[in-house]
Structure 1
Amino acid sequence: MSSTVVREASATERAVIPPADRFMRRLLRVSSTDKRVVGSAHRAFRVAILVSAVRCLITYLAIPILIPIAAVAGLVAAPLSIALCLFAFVNGVISVRRFWIANHRYRWMYTNFMAVVFAVLAVTLVIDIGGLVAGA
């Protein structure tokens, strides 16, 4: 195994970075790359997906089953879903940043995938917040 050296990109290396990559690096506040971050990027991805899966299980499986059993579940469902959505969003941003810091070859594919996940989370948040406001 070879050791990876972390260094700033030279002027010629920066010149060949596509404009879209430069935009994403600025948006995510990524100034340099570090190949050692690849493992943590994959770990953050797994955590974000796991949180999203748990949120879906709770929201669409556990709560509909528990609502008839306990009326309190209706009061807990939306705040719990909102908290899990926010947690999944934060973990998603962290994992996208790590993919970009690692300069992972699939960073664009992952960024696009997470954009879809963020859209679903945003819709879920709007529905849950609307339900809380309407119920109050």
Structure 2
Amino acid sequence: MPQTAVRETVRSESPTTPPADRLMRRLLRVQATDRRAASSAHRAFRVSIVVSAVRCLITYLAVPILIPFTAIAGLVATPLSIALCCFAFVNGVIGVRRFWIADHRHRWMYTWFMAVVFAVLTVALVMDISRLVTGA
């Protein structure tokens, strides 16, 4: 009979857990840690970075090149950029959760990095929405 792999899960709330860690775990709804989940956390990190890079390439490279060739590029670019921003934001949150579930040693560094990415995405999203509303 084959043995199944049992994941090592540990309750994340303990008296020795710093208050900031407890706050982040509650905010991200992380009840238990799984130290073997680090590979999925790294994969989620890579996906969120790739999505952000694709959004930037489309918004700042492909669209300016395509606009002289077709008038419809301007109509498609803003909604596409908004959709990619939202997708990158969701993947970023998933990545942060996975880093915290994995109890990764660099979880705070990644959390702050993603906070900066979220700020940039928020500015881009607000600019895109205002561009869409004003019709510019």
| 1:1-136 mapped onto 2 (5 Å cutoff) | 5-9=7-11, 14-135=14-135
- 2:11 is paired with a residue of what secondary structure? coil
Question: Residues of 2 paired with 1:22 and 1:9: CA distance?
Answer: 11
Q: In percent, how many aligned pairs have the same letter?
A: 73
**1:4/1:35 contact within 8 Å kept:** no
Contact 1:4 1:36 in 2 (8 A): no
TM-score normalised by the chain length of structure 1? 0.92
Count of aligned pairs between the two proteins: 132
Instruction: Give the letter aligned to residue 73 of structure 2.
Output: A
The whole-number CA distance in structure 2 between the counterparts of 1:55 and 1:5 is: 36
Task: Give the TM-score taking structure 2 as reference length.
Answer: 0.92
How many angstroms apart in 1 are the aligned matches of 2:37 and 2:126? Answer: 33
Conserved in 2, the CA contact under 8 Å of 1:82 and 1:125? yes
**Unaligned runs of at least 5 residues, structure 1:** none
Q: Counting helix residues as a fraction of each chain, which structure ranks higher?
A: 1
Q: Show CA shifts across 1:18-71 (max 9, x none).
A: 000000000000000001110000000000000000000000000000001000
Amino acid at match of 2:112: N
* Secondary structure in structure 2 of the residue aligned to 1:33: strand
Cα distance in 1 for residues equivalent to 2:29 and 2:50? 25
Quote the offset at 1:7 in angstroms: 3.6
Structure 2: segments with no counterpart, 5+ residues: none
